[in-house]
Structure 1
Amino acid sequence: MTESNGAQNPAPTPSMPDWEKRFRAPRVSLPDWAQDAPHRSLFVSNATGTYELYAWDRTTGEQRQATDRANGTTDGVLSPDGGWIWWFDDTDGDEFGVWRRQPFDGGDDSEAVPGLAPSYPAGLALGRDGHTAVVGRSTDEDGTTIHVVRPGSQDPVEIYRHRESAGVGDLSHDGTLIAIEHTEHGDAMHSSLRVVRLDGSTVAELDDTAGGTKELGLEVLGFAPVDGDTRLLVGHQRRGRWEPMVWDVASGEQHDLALDLPGDVSAEWYPDGSALLIAHSFEARGELFRHDLASARTTRLDTPVGSVSGAAARPDGSVEYLWSSAAEPPAVRSTEGGVVLDPPGMRAPRSVPVEDVWVDGPGGRVHALVQKPEGASGPLPTVFEVHGGPTWHDSDSFAAGPAAWVDHGFAVVRVNYRGSTGYGREWTDALKHRVGLIELEDIAAVREWAITSGLADPDRLVLAGGSWGGYLTLLGLGTQPGSWTVGLAAVPVADYVAAYEDEMEALKALDRTLFGGSPEQVPERFTASSPLTYVDDVKAPVFISAGVNDPRCPIRQIDNYVDRLAAREAVHEVYRYDAGHGSLVVDERIKQLGLELDFARRHLPR
Structure 2
Amino acid sequence: MTDETTGPGRTPADPPPAHPRSADATADATAGIPAWEQRFRAPRIGLPEWAEHAPDHSLFVSNATGTFELYAWDRATGTQRQATDRPHGTTDGTLSPDGQWIWWFSDTDGDEFGIWMRQPFTGGPDEPAAPGLDPSYPGGLAINRDGTAVIGRSTDEDGSTLHVVRPGQPPVEIYRHRESAGVGDLSHDGALIAIEHTEHGDAMHSAIRVVRTDGSTVAELDDTHGGSEELGLSVMGFAPVDGDSRLLVGHQRRGRWEPMIWDPLTGVQTALEIDLPGDVGADWYPDGSALLIEHEYQARSELWRYDLTTADGTGSALSRVDTPAGTVSGATARPDGTVEFLWSSAAQPPEVRSTNGTVVLDPPGMKAPGSVPVTDVWVDGPGGRIHALIQQPPGPGPFPTLFDVHGGPTWHDSDAFASSPAAWVDHGFAVVRVNYRGSTGYGRAWTDALKHRVGLIELEDIAAVRAWAVSSGLADPEQLVLAGGSWGGYLTLLGLGTQPDAWALGLAAVPVADYVTAYHDEMEALKAMDRTLLGGTPEEVPERFEASSPLTYVDAVQAPVYISAGVNDPRCPIRQVENYVQRLEGRDHPHEVYRYDAGHGSLVVEERIKQVRLELDFARRHLDAGGRLTTGEEQEEKKKATTE
TM-score (norm 2): 0.92
Question: In 2, Cα distance between the equivalents of 1:478 and 1:255?
Answer: 50
Corresponding residue number in structure 2 for 1:51: 68
Q: In structure 1, what residue type is equivalent to 2:112?
A: E
Question: In 2, Cα distance between the equivalents of 1:35 and 1:28?
Answer: 21
Please list every run of 5 or more consecutive structure 2 residues that lacks an aligned counterpart in the other structure.
1-8, 12-27, 312-316, 627-644
**Residue 449 of structure 1, aligned match among 451, 468, 471:** 468
Question: In 1, Cα distance between the equivalents of 2:226 and 2:178?
Answer: 22
Question: In 2, Cα distance between the equivalents of 1:579 and 1:544?
Answer: 15
Contact 2:339 2:355 in 1 (8 A): yes
**Residue 210 of structure 2, aligned match among 192, 195, 203:** 195
| Partner SS state of residue 56, structure 2 | strand
Deviates more, 1:11-20 or 1:350-359: 11-20
TM-superposed CA distance for 1:211, in Å, is 5.6
TM-superposed CA distance for 1:359, in Å, is 0.3
Corresponding residue number in structure 1 for 2:86: 69
Corresponding residue number in structure 2 for 1:574: 593
Corresponding residue number in structure 2 for 1:162: 177
Question: In 2, Cα distance between the equivalents of 1:416 and 1:456?
Answer: 18
Question: In 2, Cα distance between the equivalents of 1:241 and 1:362?
Answer: 21
Contact 2:69 2:91 in 1 (8 A): yes
Corresponding residue number in structure 2 for 1:3: none
Question: In 1, Cα distance between the equivalents of 2:418 and 2:616?
Answer: 16
Question: In 1, Cα distance between the equivalents of 2:309 and 2:219?
Answer: 25
**Residue 424 of structure 1, aligned match among 443, 466, 487:** 443
Q: In structure 1, what residue type is equivalent to 2:609?
A: I
**Residue 82 of structure 1, aligned match among 99, 107, 110:** 99
Contact 2:10 2:67 in 1 (8 A): no
TM-score (norm 1): 0.97
**Residue 58 of structure 2, aligned match among 21, 24, 41:** 41
1:30 matched to 2:50? The reply is no
1:185 matched to 2:200? The reply is yes
Corresponding residue number in structure 2 for 1:355: 375
1:208 matched to 2:223? The reply is yes
1:145 matched to 2:164? The reply is no
* Alignment map for 1:319-398 (pairs within 5 Å): 319-374=339-394, 376-398=395-417
Contact 1:368 1:415 in 2 (8 A): yes
Q: Over aligned residues, Cα RMSD in angstroms?
A: 1.1
Contact 1:41 1:55 in 2 (8 A): yes
Contact 1:222 1:234 in 2 (8 A): yes
Corresponding residue number in structure 1 for 2:148: 132
TM-superposed CA distance for 1:249, in Å, is 1.1
Corresponding residue number in structure 2 for 1:111: 128
**Residue 304 of structure 1, aligned match among 324, 327, 332:** 324
Question: In 1, Cα distance between the equivalents of 2:321 and 2:480?
Answer: 41
Contact 1:138 1:505 in 2 (8 A): yes
| Partner SS state of residue 210, structure 1 | coil
Name the % identity. Answer: 78
Corresponding residue number in structure 2 for 1:414: 433
Contact 1:30 1:43 in 2 (8 A): yes
Contact 2:10 2:87 in 1 (8 A): no
| Partner SS state of residue 212, structure 1 | coil
Q: In structure 1, what residue type is equivalent to 2:348?
A: E
1:554 matched to 2:573? The reply is yes
1:462 matched to 2:481? The reply is yes
When residues 237 and 12 of structure 1 are mapped into structure 2, their CA distance, relative to the original with a 3 A threshold, is farther
* Alignment map for 1:178-327 (pairs within 5 Å): 178-210=193-225, 212=227, 215-296=230-311, 297-327=317-347
Q: In structure 2, what residue type is equivalent to 1:412?
A: V
| Partner SS state of residue 125, structure 1 | strand
Contact 1:463 1:473 in 2 (8 A): yes
TM-superposed CA distance for 1:30, in Å, is 0.3
TM-superposed CA distance for 1:8, in Å, is 6.6
**Residue 487 of structure 1, aligned match among 476, 494, 506:** 506
Q: In structure 2, what residue type is equivalent to 1:169?
A: G
TM-superposed CA distance for 1:149, in Å, is 1.1
Q: In structure 2, what residue type is equivalent to 1:334?
A: S
Question: In 1, Cα distance between the equivalents of 2:183 and 2:564?
Answer: 33
Q: In structure 2, what residue type is equivalent to 1:323?
A: W
Deviations 1:354-379 (A, max 9, x none): 000000000000000000013x2111
TM-superposed CA distance for 1:12, in Å, is 5.4
Question: In 1, Cα distance between the equivalents of 2:166 and 2:556?
Answer: 58
Question: In 2, Cα distance between the equivalents of 1:537 and 1:123?
Answer: 42
TM-superposed CA distance for 1:431, in Å, is 1.1
User: After TM superposition, where is structure 1 displaced by more than 3 Å over at least 4 residues in a row?
Assistant: none
Contact 1:393 1:420 in 2 (8 A): yes
What is the aligned length? 596
TM-superposed CA distance for 1:213, in Å, is 5.3
TM-superposed CA distance for 1:214, in Å, is 5.1
Corresponding residue number in structure 1 for 2:635: none
